[in-house]
Amino acid sequence: MSAPKYIVVDLETTGSSSAKGGRIIQLAMVTIEEGVVTDTYTAFINPEQNIPVFIQELTNITNEDVASALPFEQHAQVVSARLEDAVFVAHNADFDLGFLNAELKRAGLMPWQGLVVDTVELARLVYPTAYSYKLQDIAAELGILLKQAHRADDDALATAELFLSAKKQLASLPADTLRLLHKRSFSLKSDLSHLLFELISDKHTAGKDDQLRFRGIPIAVPEEMKAVWPNRYTPAAEPVQQLQTIMPGFEYRENQARLMKTIQQALDGKQEIVIEASTGMGKTIGYLLPAAEYALTEGKQVIISTYTTHLQEQLLQNEGKMLSEFLNAPISLALIKGMNHYIDLMRLYEQLQSEDESYDETFTLMQVLVWLSATQTGDLTELNTSGGGQLVIDKIRRSHLRKPAAPELKLDFYERARKRADQAHIIITNHAFLLGGGLGERQAALIIDEAHQMIQSALAKKEKTFVYTNWKYIFGQLGTLDDRQLFYHFSEVATEARFASAAELSRLEFLYSKTAGLFDEISSRLADSFARSVPNRRQKKWALLLDSLGRQEQAVRHLLKLLNEWLDLSRELLSRADRLTELEVRKQAILNDWRYWTEEIAAETIALGDIFAFPGRDDVSWVEGDLRSLPNSLAIYQRPFDVARPVSRVLEPVRRHEAVIHLSGTMSVPTDERFIIRQLGIRDEVPLIKFDPEPEFYAGARVFVVEDMPDIQQVPQAEYIESVADAVIQTVLVTEGRCFVLFTSQDMLRKTVELIQDSGLLEDYMLFAQGLSSGSRMRLLKSFQRFSKSVLFGTNSFWEGVDVPGDALRAVVVVRLPFTSPDEPVFKARSERISAEGKNPFLEYALPEAVIRLRQGFGRLIRSREDHGLFIVLDRRIETKSYGKEFLRALPPVPVAKVSLEKMVTSIEDWYNGNA
């Protein structure tokens, strides 16, 4: 079978639509035959109109570049001839083909018709773990040369290389994987089915692959890991100095050497200590080396817990790799997360039996099949799936509801992770898994990195959530017989297979209808109470304590009674169905769906009961909603007041036998050194050991307090926002971008960004705003780093845990001191409790929390001694209020200038020009 000819096309245009007057300004076509590029055709096109300024900046194509070029009509015949009998390939093919066909038609030619391969869809399938599928991102990840993005000639060549790379990767997949992909490929947006068929045909002569199989699904062979525990190991005498031999560019730091010695002594003495280690002293290496040496010398495991799964992976991929080389002994590290991070292969197999899927569901299953041929972890967070595919991902997660049968266990990824953890010298986990008791009572020393985040992790672990729209979606999946939804199909299967009587099915439907009606009544009453209780109807979004709205305990208990009866009956029928020995694949898929939604309803029922009917003595419950969309916007939450007890419960078994080391860059504030330590339930006698930064570390930092800003408590918010917008604009212009602007309110962020956009003064800059720009926090951060002239506006989550090294971040602007709003429900409830104890909630709680947050905000700025940056505070309370000095005291020893906005701009200019 001869391979088809592929033509890769890329266009640059004056606008997004030919129908709206957009025209082509550059065209590139790359021909691929027999797997190699054989020809290229590229030309500037005269659009016979001015190119918008934005397009000129994006493409670097000017009006002068196209002034002497031919119009598209003069190229149309050549373009049409080149496309004849070829497969059309493009990155985001809908745009290029749609635009090209419109121009061909305008030139009096027939629109092109034929097979299409969209390399966005192809890359998403073949590289399911890639960070981004924008051409410049995926090209960079694969090492494909892209000289200048948004130039048709360079983009087309990069797209051709991407296509060839993806095709080669597809060809390397097992034949069984290709067949499973081909079966589902006919509903894709582009003609990948033809490409897959071509590759399957070529596989006929290939030998057997080395992949394992789970019910016909190919799975990568796991890499074996077995820790070697030496009989005798002698640690290095001067470990920090020796690091220079294996880590290029490593600098000896006295503080790091002291940190290592402190940790080593704590491990040897089985002590509990708290360490506050400032940014830039090499904290990660500082605990990894002593941990590894302790494991080897004592023959005992060490557990390292980090805040996020992302930090876990960084440890494994980066610093962990050099341990064996440095120690001159094999050292094994194993990563383990919560069970629901891992794939359940049986659930995947069951999902593959279904044929009634949306595009997103089909495509996600195809991504999973490709991923399984390579993944060593089975960790579903590796996948980059669409929002619509997330439902499939949730359906194939491992859970406590189903334990794999004995034959499946050797292939089960969660069991593999546990086995690796059992064998490893060092176990890397995250706070959530640690707090959930996932590691049991191992006789292992414990190092907790980012220890202050144990508070947030414990709060999140204990939080109960009940969201109105989520419930309506879940409960709405079932329906009644008249709806002909899932219950209708479940009833058919139950009747035909004879595991449910007509009376039982009728009872199930009755309970469902009664539950739906009663839930709507309760929700309506809650929405009415919420609307009546808001203090100010001009503000649309509110959070109110549940007790102030009424818990409707009697009605909720009746609702729970109905739900539990429905759940008991549904589970009984499923239990009977499980005893059936033979069932058609289609019917089994229906039962699997019913089981999944039954357990989803069970989880919602537990949350509903915990929040409304059985609140804990130390819990606070609140309702969030938007007056413009009640009851749809209602969301109900419950959290504990503090987490000292649940944290202590997890740590106590370790304390009895091994060392517990709490590490963080932020464990104290000047006014209360044990503010965080107390919240974690750590005993008073546990020492706090501080490692201050070396004097020259912050030499490149400056702090400015802008004195002529209006007092935020004395002027209307609109006036303050105008001043903020002006200060941000002037700061951005003088620093030429690379700024974080940190807010405490999403509303103020939105209004400031809108004002800046309306001014047009920063139209040359890329503005990324949390909650306004699309994408996750990490995606926004990546976008911010990609452009030199960029500004990122962020709220709470950007105050900490964001690392932007070097010149990528030049300034952090603090719009308001980061106090929690006094109306925030948990803050309000905790403050009331502190007051009841006869203490001052502002001094005991509000101030220390805000000081810590400001300190964390400063920590975004200087990550190494080579960094230079500005920390600009616009909130005058830092100098006018008596408590303001506590914020300044908490910052590192950096020069603080209290100046007018004009003087600040001049000072920054002088600083950049070397005059300061």
- Does residue 869 share a domain with residue 723? yes
Alpha helices in 669-745 (DSSP H): 675-679, 717-735
CA angle 442, 444, 447 (to 5 degrees): 120
Residue 386, pLDDT score: 86
Q: Give the pLDDT of residue 573.
A: 96
**In terms of domains, do 767 and 867 share one?**
yes
Domain co-membership, 346 together with 328:
no
Residues 675 and 729 in one domain: no
Q: Kindly indicate the confidence band of residue 722, based on its pLDDT and cuts at 50, 70 and 90.
A: very high
> 3-state SS of 447-493?
EECCHHHHHHHHHHHHCEEEEHHHHHHHHHCCCCCCCCCHHHHHHHH
**134-159 average pLDDT score:** 91
- Reported for 644-647, long-range contacts at CB under 8 A and 24+ positions apart, including other chains, are 644/678, 644/679, 644/680, 644/681, 645/681, 646/435, 646/458, 646/461, 646/462, 647/435, 647/454, 647/458, 647/680, 647/681
Shared domain for 299 and 387, answered yes or no, is no
Q: Are strands 790-794 and 739-742 parallel, antiparallel or unpaired?
A: parallel
| 479-490 confidence digits (pLDDT tens) | 988 888 999 999
Q: Measured between alpha carbons, how far is residue 519 from residues 511, 540, 571, 608, 803 in Å?
A: 12, 24, 22, 11, 45
8 Å CB contact between 911 and 700 = no
**507 within some domain:** yes
Binding-site residues for ATP, in ranges, read: 277-284
Q: Which among 113, 148, 173 is the end of a domain?
A: 173
Residue 421 is assigned to a structural domain of this protein: no
pLDDT at 794 over 70: yes
Give the pLDDT band of residue 315 (cuts 50, 70, 90).
low
Helix (H) or strand (E) holding 621: strand 619-626
Q: Let me know whether 544 and 608 are in one domain.
A: yes
Q: Specify whether 678 is located in the same domain as 704.
A: no
Whether residue 783 is found in the same domain as residue 871:
yes
Cβ 104 vs Cβ 80: under 8 Å: yes
In the chain, the largest separation of any two C-alpha atoms, in whole Å, equals 88
Is the Cβ–Cβ distance between 466 and 607 less than 8 Å?
Answer: yes
Q: Which helix (H) or strand (E) holds 543?
A: strand 541-545
Indicate if 478 and 513 belong to the same structural domain: yes
As beta bridge partners, residue 305 has 429, 448
Q: Which residue range forms the structural domain that includes residue 709? A: 695-912
Residues 319 and 361 in one domain: no
Residue 70 pLDDT more than 90? Answer: yes
pLDDT, residue 268, reads: 94
- Known catalytic residues are 150
In terms of Cβ atoms closer than 10 Å to its own Cβ (0-12, 13-18, 19+), residue 893 is: exposed
SS3 call for 272: strand
**Token pair recorded at residue 592:** 């699997």
Q: Do 89 and 147 lie in a common domain?
A: yes
In a domain, 200, yes or no: no
Count of structural domains within the chain:
5
Q: How confident is the model at residue 318 (pLDDT cuts 50, 70, 90)?
A: low
Last residue of a domain, one of 173, 199, 230: 173
| pLDDT exceeds 90 at position 809 | no
SS3 at position 807: helix
Specify if 651 maps to a domain. Answer: no
Q: Which helix (H) or strand (E) holds 261?
A: helix 254-269
Tokens of 417: 């992770």
Do 369 and 382 belong to one domain? yes
Residue 320's pLDDT is 62
Task: Answer yes or no: are the C-beta atoms of 171 and 204 closer than 8 Å.
Answer: no
Can you count the helices (H) and strands (E) in the chain? Answer: 37, 25
CB 863 within 8 A of CB 280: yes
Distance (Å, rounded) from C-alpha 347 to C-alpha 366?
15
Distance (Å, rounded) from C-alpha 814 to C-alpha 822? 19
Query: pLDDT band at residue 387, thresholds of 50, 70 and 90?
Result: confident
